[in-house]
């Protein structure tokens, strides 16, 4: 299967899931608590962080983005799905609280 086909299948499957984005931990936890209230999620300190991490050079960043175009597209779509799920979550909460 080509990259476009894999991306299409990935996005189709993601559209039927609760989506989380690591950099948006608090919002992901909010959505999860609505759709899966039994699931507990902590947004505390990252336990396996690399103490020696350093920033990428601009050339390295561009090359990674070029080689990972499908992943970048999936990441952007995941953020859009999370925004939509967050909207559903907050609307449902407001309705249940009579706002």
SS (H, E, C) 7-31: HHHHHHHHCCCCCCCHHHHHHHHHH
Please tell me the pTM assigned to this model. Answer: 0.72
How confident is the model over 50-67, as pLDDT tens digits? 777 778 899 998 888 888
What local confidence, expressed as pLDDT, does residue 47 receive?
66
Kind and range of the H or E run holding 62: helix 58-67
Q: Which of 84, 99, 95, 94 is nearest to 31 (CA)?
A: 84
Is 13 a member of any domain?
yes
How confident is the model over 2-52, as pLDDT tens digits? 777 888 888 888 889 999 998 999 999 999 999 999 988 888 866 666 777
Is 73 a member of any domain?
yes
Is 48 a member of any domain?
no
What average pLDDT score do residues 62-89 get? 91
Is 86 a member of any domain?
yes
Domain count, the chain: 1
């Amino acid at each position: 299967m080509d990259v476009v086909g894999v991306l299409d299948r990935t996005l189709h499957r993601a559209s039927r899931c609760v989506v989380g984005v690591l950099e948006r931990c608090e919002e992901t936890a909010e959505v999860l608590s609505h759709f899966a209230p039994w699931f507990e999620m902590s947004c505390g300190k990252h336990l396996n962080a690399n103490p020696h991490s350093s920033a990428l050079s601009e050339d390295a960043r561009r090359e990674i983005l070029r080689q990972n175009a499908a992943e970048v597209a999936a990441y952007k779509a995941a953020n859009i799905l999370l925004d939509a799920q967050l909207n559903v979550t907050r609307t449902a909460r407001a309705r249940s609280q009579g706002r």
